[in-house]
């Protein structure tokens, strides 16, 4: 997993609430056995019409958001299915950071495992960013170490993140590798809980 | 009692392997259920790193999402077939027990776990599937995980988990006649919203819950995730114990009685507290129908489709407008006027024997409306066989339903069971998200009884009146 420390990137707004993982990546694309290549299917049913043509109204199809690495969305982002294909698709498309007022629990866990930073911001902060992102070329800088988001117009805020996911993201750790250093504890537990 | 605890706290404490400042707890996992969709990348990760499965005997696999329900041996889609074959190979390579397509134990992962007695009170249970919350019905701490966590559990039999907040959802009184466990959980999500459970594990308590069978309890716990809670559970009691007695993977004889005593001791202590308590009056719950594109968008069958004007919040207004448009409904129209094209009775929410019995009672001797295509997909091989033994298959077939083989089927349409764009389905499944049953498909979540009644009428009907009319 790639470490994530600071990032400056273009912001793409998705002004919808309760975006579920069935929208992020529809079920017909869950049949592959690989971890890569899911970006082309991201938000498929919203991005493309029935004939497979791009829907020009959808933000991800608009030229001004091409190359965006920060996705901003409404409340309860990533609700529904536990499919990790959702963060795989988001990442493969080019997003490294998500900003939303709240996330579904399983989705949020899945983002950390893939080196994606899911920032929880207030409703007001998210709406401010949505508005600013209507302007072409609007970008934000994220500093994970300092837990700070800012633009070059003086807008900024601090965000909360628990120490463990922060450390995971900053270092890009292989979590299984870390856990296996606790193998003696696991063995001990197994011996006393037969 | 000194320091009373709720069941969630008890199970958690019994499974902590390691605690340290600045880290979540390292939690031991007792049962890991695996299916073909969310596991291939996890096994591949093990292979790439030269890792083994730590406790193959605590791991159990089935194939359910991709399985055809007409001719289950023939998977036409080569990508689906590869995914199913890959699970077979991975289970052989890593020494994991698999109930494959031909195995008599095969079925939907959340149906067979309980059926086989793999699911037991007090266990921590995970699966790469959000409806793992189903197993909470037994007083297990059961939750869905992503594929990276699947790999982590395979390799270490543990997960790093921050202790959850606990919530008591207290259901006072009893449900009325014709009102089901499905209606109750839909009404709970409708009342408190699709994110009320985020960050929590729920315990369902109260008179209605105590009176439920295990299958009804599973329906309730199954949809905890639709209210945002990763896990929802019910303290074990005599109903739990009697359901498990004699099942394949539970202890037998004297050892069972010992286990049963231990299970019952897990129940929440008198006087235990929770971070949050919410209450609902069971007697007020009516048969529910979802009108929109998430499970919280539900109304009683007697009500009218809501209007965007009912809220002041712009984001909610926008959501209602979008949902009405997607669903092809008008604000204010009675939901019972809405005509349907399809009926699906199945899924990990409502595909067990008692669900099929109740639906069969509604349709016995009647005919499916000519404008409706109706299918029944039993949750497992075993449910199918039991239903056939009772002659339920004949009741469905005589009415004009198709009687299919077991699988996840039309709940998410990863096999061939898909609703065409613009068509409308009364479905006993758990998610009415856009495109869930097929791109452009319109899903209305209901109970098996309501689905059966809608199949006959061709539109939604209040099953309480439907039953009364027929009896009277």
- What are the residue boundaries of the structural domains of chain A, listed by start? 6-192
CATH of the domain at B382: 3.30.499.10
Question: Do B74 and B19 share a structural domain?
Answer: yes
Is there a contact between B269 and B4 (Cβ–Cβ < 8 Å)?
A: yes
Q: Which among B66, B146, B195 has the least Cβ separation from residue A109?
A: B146
Give me the pLDDT at residue B1, please.
58
Placement of tokens 């971070």 in the chain:
B275
Query: Does residue B258 lie within any of the structural domains?
Result: yes
Query: Does residue B442 lie within any of the structural domains?
Result: yes
Give me the pLDDT at residue B315, please.
87
How many whole angstroms separate alpha carbon B226 and alpha carbon A129? 28
Comparing CA positions, the residue from B249, B12, B11, B222 lying closest to residue B129 is B222
How many whole angstroms separate alpha carbon B270 and alpha carbon B5? 8
Comparing CA positions, the residue from A105, A16, A22 lying closest to residue B432 is A22
Collect the ranges in chain A with pLDDT lower than 70. Answer: none
User: Which of B221, B244, B277 is a domain's end point?
Assistant: B277
Query: Does residue B282 lie within any of the structural domains?
Result: no
Give me the pLDDT at residue B471, please.
41
Give me the pLDDT at residue A193, please.
92
Contact of B262 with chain A, judged by CB distance below 8 Å, is answered with: no
Phi and psi torsions of A37, nearest 5°: 85, 15
Question: Do B102 and B247 share a structural domain?
Answer: yes
Handedness of CA B426, B428, B432, B435 (dihedral sign): negative
pLDDT digits (tens, 9 = 90+) for A20-56: 999 999 999 999 999 999 999 999 999 999 999 999 9
Q: What is the ipTM of this complex?
A: 0.97
Contacts of B129 in chain A (CB under 8 A): 81-82
Contact of A75 with chain B, judged by CB distance below 8 Å, is answered with: yes
Q: Enumerate helices (H) and strands (E) in chain A, giving the number of each.
A: 8, 7
Question: Do B183 and B117 share a structural domain?
Answer: yes
Contact of B77 with chain A, judged by CB distance below 8 Å, is answered with: yes
CA distance B151 to chain A (A): 8
* pLDDT of B26 above 90: yes
pLDDT digits (tens, 9 = 90+) for B229-241: 999 999 999 999 9
Interface touch A175/B148, C-beta < 8 Å: yes
For B30, residues 6+ apart whose C-beta sits below 8 A from its C-beta are: B15, B58, B123, B124, B125
Handedness of CA A124, A130, A131, A135 (dihedral sign): positive
Query: Does residue B431 lie within any of the structural domains?
Result: yes
Question: Do B296 and B273 share a structural domain?
Answer: no
Question: Do B177 and B80 share a structural domain?
Answer: yes
Query: Does residue B381 lie within any of the structural domains?
Result: yes
User: How many interchain CB pairs under 8 A, A with B?
Assistant: 173
How many whole angstroms separate alpha carbon B293 and alpha carbon A28? 19
Query: Does residue B67 lie within any of the structural domains?
Result: yes
User: Which of B225, B257, B277 is a domain's end point?
Assistant: B277
pLDDT digits (tens, 9 = 90+) for B342-398: 999 999 999 999 999 999 999 999 999 999 999 999 999 999 999 999 999 999 999
Question: Do B272 and B294 share a structural domain?
Answer: no
CATH architecture of the domain with range A6-192? Alpha-Beta Barrel (3.20)
Query: Does residue B239 lie within any of the structural domains?
Result: yes
Question: Do B366 and B251 share a structural domain?
Answer: no
Give the full edge-to-edge strand order of the sheet including B124-127: B97-99, B59-62, B31-34, B124-127, B141-144
Tokens of B232: 């929802």
Question: Do B299 and B154 share a structural domain?
Answer: no
Which residues constitute the domain of residue B340? Answer: 288-471
User: Which of B212, B244, B277 is a domain's end point?
Assistant: B277
Phi and psi torsions of B11, nearest 5°: -65, -40
pLDDT above 90 coverage of chain B, percent: 96
Query: Does residue B283 lie within any of the structural domains?
Result: no
- For chain B, the domain total comes to 2
Question: Do B295 and B195 share a structural domain?
Answer: no
Is there a contact between B81 and B63 (Cβ–Cβ < 8 Å)?
A: no
Comparing CA positions, the residue from A151, A167, A173 lying closest to residue A7 is A151
């Amino acid at each position: 997993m790639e470490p994530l420390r600071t990032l400056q990137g273009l912001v793409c707004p998705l002004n919808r609430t309760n975006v579920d993982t069935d929208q992020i990546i529809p079920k017909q694309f869950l049949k592959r056995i690989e971890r890569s290549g899911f970006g082309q299917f991201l938000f498929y049913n919203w991005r493309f019409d029935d004939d497979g043509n791009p829907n020009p109204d959808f933000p991800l199809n608009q030229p001004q958001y091409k190359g965006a690495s920060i996705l901003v969305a409404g409340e309860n982002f990533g609700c529904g299915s536990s499919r990790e294909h959702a963060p795989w698709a988001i990442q493969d498309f080019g997003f490294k950071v998500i900003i939303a007022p709240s996330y579904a629990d399983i989705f949020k866990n899945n983002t950390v495992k893939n080196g994606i930073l899911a920032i929880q911001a207030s409703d007001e902060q998210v709406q401010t960013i949505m508005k600013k992102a209507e302007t072409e070329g609007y970008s934000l800088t994220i500093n994970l170490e300092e837990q700070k988001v800012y633009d070059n117009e003086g807008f900024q805020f601090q965000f909360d993140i628990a120490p463990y996911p922060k450390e995971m993201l900053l270092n890009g750790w292989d979590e299984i590798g870390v856990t296996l250093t606790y193998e003696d504890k696991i063995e001990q537990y197994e011996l006393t809980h037969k | 009692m000194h320091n009373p605890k709720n069941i969630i706290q008890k199970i958690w404490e019994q499974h902590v392997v390691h605690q340290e400042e600045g880290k979540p707890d390292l939690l031991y996992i007792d049962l890991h259920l695996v299916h073909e969709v969310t596991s291939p990348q996890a096994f591949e990760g093990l292979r790439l790193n030269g890792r083994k499965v730590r406790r193959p005997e605590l791991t159990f696999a089935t194939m359910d999402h991709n399985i055809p329900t007409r001719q289950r041996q023939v998977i036409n889609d080569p990508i689906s077939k590869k995914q199913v074959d890959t699970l077979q190979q991975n289970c052989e390579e890593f020494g994991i027990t698999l109930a494959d397509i031909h195995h008599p134990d095969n079925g939907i992962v959340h149906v067979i776990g309980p059926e086989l007695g793999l699911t037991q009170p007090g266990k921590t249970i995970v699966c790469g599937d959000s409806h793992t919350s189903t197993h909470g019905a037994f007083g297990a701490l059961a939750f869905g995980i992503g594929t990276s966590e699947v790999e982590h559990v395979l390799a270490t039999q543990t997960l790093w988990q921050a202790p959850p907040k606990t919530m008591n959802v207290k259901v006072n009184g009893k449900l009325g006649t014709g009102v089901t466990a499905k209606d109750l959980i839909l009404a709970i999500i409708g009342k408190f919203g699709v994110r009320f459970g985020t960050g929590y594990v729920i315990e369902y308590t109260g008179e209605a819950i105590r009176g439920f069978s295990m299958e009804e309890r599973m329906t309730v716990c199954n949809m905890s995730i639709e209210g945002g809670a990763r896990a929802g559970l019910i303290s074990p009691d005599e109903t739990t114990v009697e359901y498990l007695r004699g099942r394949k993977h539970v202890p037998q004889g004297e050892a069972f009685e010992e286990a049963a005593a231990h299970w019952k001791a897990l129940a929440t202590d008198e006087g235990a507290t929770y971070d949050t308590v919410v209450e609902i009056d069971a007697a007020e719950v009516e048969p529910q129908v979802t009108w929109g594109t998430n499970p919280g968008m539900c109304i009683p069958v007697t009500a009218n489709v809501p209007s965007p004007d009912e809220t002041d919040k712009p984001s909610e207004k926008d959501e209602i407008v979008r949902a009405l448009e997607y669903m092809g409904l008008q604000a204010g129209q009675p939901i019972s006027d809405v005509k349907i094209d399809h009926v699906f009775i199945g899924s990990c929410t409502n595909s067990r024997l008692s669900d099929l019995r109740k639906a069969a009672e509604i349709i016995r001797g009647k005919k499916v409306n000519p404008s409706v295509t109706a299918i029944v997909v039993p949750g497992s091989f075993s449910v199918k066989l039991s239903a056939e033994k009772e002659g339920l298959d004949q009741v469905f077939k005589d009415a004009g339903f198709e009687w299919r083989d077991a699988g996840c089927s039309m709940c998410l349409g990863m096999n061939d069971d898909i609703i065409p764009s613009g068509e409308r389905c009364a479905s006993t499944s758990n998610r009415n998200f856009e495109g869930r049953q097929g791109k452009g498909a319109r899903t209305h979540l209901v109970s098996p009884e309501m689905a059966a009644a809608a199949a006959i009428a061709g539109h939604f009907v209040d099953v309480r009146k439907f039953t009364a009319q027929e009896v009277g």
